[in-house]
Amino acid sequence: MVGWRTSSIRRQHELPKSSELIKNDKYPHIVYEEQSTQDDVCNKASLDQKLDLEEEMIRGLNQVPWTRVDVSFQKSRQRYIAHSTIQVKSYWLNSDGADVVFHMIDNFVL
């Protein structure tokens, strides 16, 4: 199993509170959505500053606009194969992930 903080590549204090989680009938497995703001864009660390790999990844990702979408299969029978379910590799086996794919299609912007 992968922890929420690790899988979403964010700092511990950036995780949404349980009171902020959403329930959406159209996309039942989408539990949180966040758009980046101009304030989220971090300056590059100076070359002499030592950063751990995780912090370096977070800073790199924050240099571009993004939409973070948290997905939960906690109540699904398919929760133990979430990585395959989110990709809907096989509909009969991973059907719970279909709403996540539809959410991506409905919200994809060029």
Question: What pLDDT is stored for residue 45 in this prediction?
Answer: 47
Question: What pLDDT is stored for residue 39 in this prediction?
Answer: 63
Q: Where are the domains of the chain?
A: 4-107
Cβ neighbours of residue 91 under 8 Å, at least 6 residues apart?
98
What would the two tokens of residue 85 be? 């379910």
pLDDT digits (tens, 9 = 90+) for 20-79: 888 889 999 999 888 877 665 554 444 456 668 888 888 888 888 888 888 999 899 998
Model-level pTM? 0.68
Residue type, 80: Y
Output the CA–CA distances (angstroms, integers) from residue 3 to 6, 24, 91, 102, in the order listed. Answer: 5, 23, 25, 24
